[in-house]
Amino acid sequence: MLPAQETRAIRKGVKRPAGRKRNKGSKKKMRSDGTPSHGFLEQQFQPLFDYSIFAGMDPAKIEADFYQSLRHFSKLYGFEPFVDKETIFPANMLASFDHAKASLTKDHKNTELSIIQTEKSNGLCTALAASQNVNPGWTLYYLPIDTLDRLHQRKDSQTFGMMLSVFAYLNLVAGMPLPFQNDYHDNCFDAIQEWLMENEQEYDEDDFKENRRLCTGFRRKAPILEKAIRNRTNLPSFASRLGTYKAASPVEKKFRKVAQKLLVLYNRFPTRSFYQNIPPLPDEPDDDEYPIYPDEYFSFFWTSSGWLYENLMEYVNTDLQEKSRFHAPQSVQVFDRPHKKIIHNLDFENQLLNLICELAEVLDQF
């Protein structure tokens, strides 16, 4: 995968890495917690395609719940439900499900259908659930914070302040972790620095000193910039800084345009986080089922150029090649009751990722 800076023009052409099974002997570090999801998404739904899951359950109740749910679903999506009276439970349910799924994909190709169980007052209820997922598109949504360091060195206080507000919104509200808030990135940089120090003989003396200087500079400067970004006064200053920002150069005009779009998004969704609609994972997923976690593809990092960046990209891509799917925001509508309209709203998440791509492209030009 490539970072947003390098995929903006060719995002549709980015190839999905080949899925490979994780080495059974490797141990995966637990991911840091994101913003908790709401409502029924906090429940752990179990797919019902494994017939053994029906063991010990009342087939009559399962069928009654399922076909009631099917009626709710087919009425909303406008098709006649199929009821197979020639087969017995649970094959009849699966035949009806396959028909409903085929009917759905005719006009709603981006919606997935599944059978789930959810808790109700009278016990477990078997129901259909329609879901839509954000598709990150095999892109790394990374933003460099060393742009702030360059602006500080140039004494560009106007752009520096404006960028602090933009970064503060993305971190404090939208949930994009900073390098030292992100265990995954922090571990990546630790590994890169450790490899450098243990393989000094593989570098020319000047190259080794320069690479070590880059590592030291990151460790020294990043915490200072992160503290400035986390200052919550940057949020109420967002609109006023944008209102007084005088964009002179072409890159400043591009930056102001993206900042304006982000402020509009902030005003429209003042408390919305990228993590809000990400469903929880099982406590102990199988090794083969580890997805690409949000902190692995959605994060600030230190720099988007040079030796440190190149090694980070090599490290991340090597690691993520072992995985075949994203753990991304999801909108789920459960048909354990009637619905008057289709409710899938991932506008915030999709707009946010697109704006991060635009912003990443601009930051590289400062």
Summarised one tens digit per residue, pLDDT across range 286-300 is 556 678 999 999 999
**Which phi and psi (to 5°) does residue 300 adopt?**
-75, 155
Q: Which pLDDT tens digit goes with each residue over 179-204?
A: 999 999 999 999 999 999 999 889 89
Query: Which of 277, 288, 293 is closest to 31 using CA atoms?
Result: 293
Q: With pLDDT > 90 as the criterion, what percentage of the chain qualifies?
A: 64
Q: Edge to edge, what strands does the sheet with 2-3 contain?
A: 2-3, 139-144, 298-301
Q: For residue 260, is pLDDT > 70?
A: yes
Residue 282: is its pLDDT beyond 90? Answer: no
Non-local (6+) Cβ contacts of 105 within 8 A are 111
Assess contact for 301 and 142: CB atoms under 8 A.
yes
Give the separation between CA 366 and CA 363, rounded to whole angstroms: 6
The model's pLDDT over 66-99, given as tens digits with 9 standing for 90+, comes to 999 999 999 999 999 998 888 888 888 899 999 9
pLDDT of residue 28: 37
CA distance 177 to 181: 6
Report which DSSP code applies to 359. Answer: H
Give the full edge-to-edge strand order of the sheet including 330-334. 112-120, 123-133, 330-334
Nearest to 126 by CA among 77, 76, 188, 58: 58
**DSSP type of residue 14:** P
Listed residue (101, 96, 99) closest to 114, CA to CA: 101
pLDDT at 8: 38
Tokens of 50: 């494994």
Kindly give, in sequence order, each residue whose CB lies less than 8 Å from that of residue 163, ignoring residues fewer than 6 positions away.
147, 148, 151, 255
Identify which of 50, 178, 44, 188 has the alpha carbon closest to the alpha carbon of residue 124: 44
**pLDDT given for residue 110 in this prediction:** 86
- Which residues pair with residue 174 across a beta bridge? none
| Per-residue model confidence (pLDDT) at position 118 | 83
Question: Of 166, 137, 188, nearest to 360 (Cα)?
Answer: 166
What's the rounded mean pLDDT across residues 141-152? 96
Residue 301: its H or E element: strand 298-301
**Where does the pLDDT of residue 34 fall: very low under 50, low under 70, confident under 90, or very high at 90 and above?**
very low
- Strands 112-120, 139-144: pairing is unpaired
DSSP per-residue letters across 107-166: H-TT-EEEEEEEEETTEEEEEEEEEEE---TTEEEEEESHHHHHHHHTT-HHHHHHHHHH
CB 146 within 8 A of CB 363: no
The Cα 336–Cα 121 span in angstroms is 12
